[in-house]
């Protein structure tokens, strides 16, 4: 199982955004929605071997995290507006019954938790076992080219920053976790492009 975790520094955790102006009203949730398509959708199919977490750290309801699991996901459409509508519906529901950092019941593969990176790490420890291997998409010193780096093909977890990159706290926590830095090439690309490039490398290595 491949897992991607996209950390949205400003993406809203509430439903108070407009589908007619996603970039301007949602704290750039559009960046994260494009990552959903990149991670889960194929030409005429859905990647059943992939899950993605969207960590929403913007607005008064933050942090919240949405998890979409390809094993059980249904009716995912590739266009931003459809994805935004589905996320807005989920964010607008009553989640007062949720306890602690646990994800609630999954509906068509989609679930939510009232926490950020904490909730993701708790879920990963439970879902992937302690054996998951964390990687962070991060340029700079110590990063290894994804084409050359050894990658755990059983339980890899890739942490990806949004258009603002990782904040200091997230970076420190990922480093403490032992996350290995991966780079993707000589040019700095969008988060969804990073996921496309990673997925292709995993496909080529027979991961899944």
Give least dist CB 62 to a copy of itself, A. 21
Provide the minimum distance between the beta carbon of 30 and a copy of itself in the complex, in angstroms, as a whole number: 5
Cβ-count burial of 105 within 10 angstroms (0-12 exposed, 13-18 middle, 19+ buried)?
exposed
Backbone angles phi, psi at 64, to 5 degrees: -135, 155
> What's the token pair of residue 48?
């059943």
Q: CB-wise, 95 or 181, nearer to a copy of itself?
A: 181
CB of 80 to a copy of itself, least distance (A): 5
Nearer to a copy of itself, 38 or 113 (CB): 38
Supply the minimum distance, in Å, between the C-beta of residue 173 and a copy of itself: 22
State the residue for tokens 């019941």: 105
Q: Which is nearer to a copy of itself, 129 or 185 (CB)?
A: 185
**Edge to edge, what strands does the sheet with 180-183 contain?**
110-113, 64-69, 50-58, 2-12, 156-161, 133-137, 180-183, 144-145
Could you give the C-alpha distances from 42 to 62, 76, 199, in angstroms and in order?
Answer: 31, 11, 11
User: Which residues would be at the binding site for a copy of itself (CB under 8 A)?
Assistant: 19-23, 30-31, 34, 37-38, 41-45, 77-82, 163, 184-190, 193, 196-197, 200, 203-204
Task: List the structure tokens of 23.
Answer: 């970039």
Whose Cβ is closer to a copy of itself: residue 81's or residue 93's? 81
């Amino acid at each position: 199982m491949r897992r991607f975790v996209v950390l949205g520094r400003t993406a809203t955790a509430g439903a108070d955004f407009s589908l007619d102006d996603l970039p301007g009203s949602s704290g750039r949730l559009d960046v994260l929605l494009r990552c959903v398509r990149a991670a889960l959708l194929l030409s005429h199919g859905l990647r059943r071997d992939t899950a993605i977490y969207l960590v929403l750290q913007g607005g008064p309801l933050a942090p919240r995290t949405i998890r979409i699991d390809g094993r059980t996901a249904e009716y995912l459409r590739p266009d931003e507006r459809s994805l935004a509508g589905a996320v807005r519906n989920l964010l607008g529901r009553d989640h007062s019954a949720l306890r602690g950092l646990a994800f609630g019941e999954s509906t068509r593969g989609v679930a939510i938790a009232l926490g950020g990176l904490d909730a993701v790490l708790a879920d990963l420890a439970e879902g992937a076992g302690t054996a998951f291997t964390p990687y962070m998409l991060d340029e700079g010193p110590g990063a290894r080219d994804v084409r050359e780096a050894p990658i755990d093909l059983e339980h890899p977890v890739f942490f990806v920053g949004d258009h603002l990159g990782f904040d200091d706290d997230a970076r420190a926590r990922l480093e403490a976790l032992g996350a290995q830095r991966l780079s993707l090439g000589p040019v700095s690309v969008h988060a969804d492009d990073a996921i496309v490039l990673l997925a292709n490398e995993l496909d080529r290595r027979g991961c899944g």
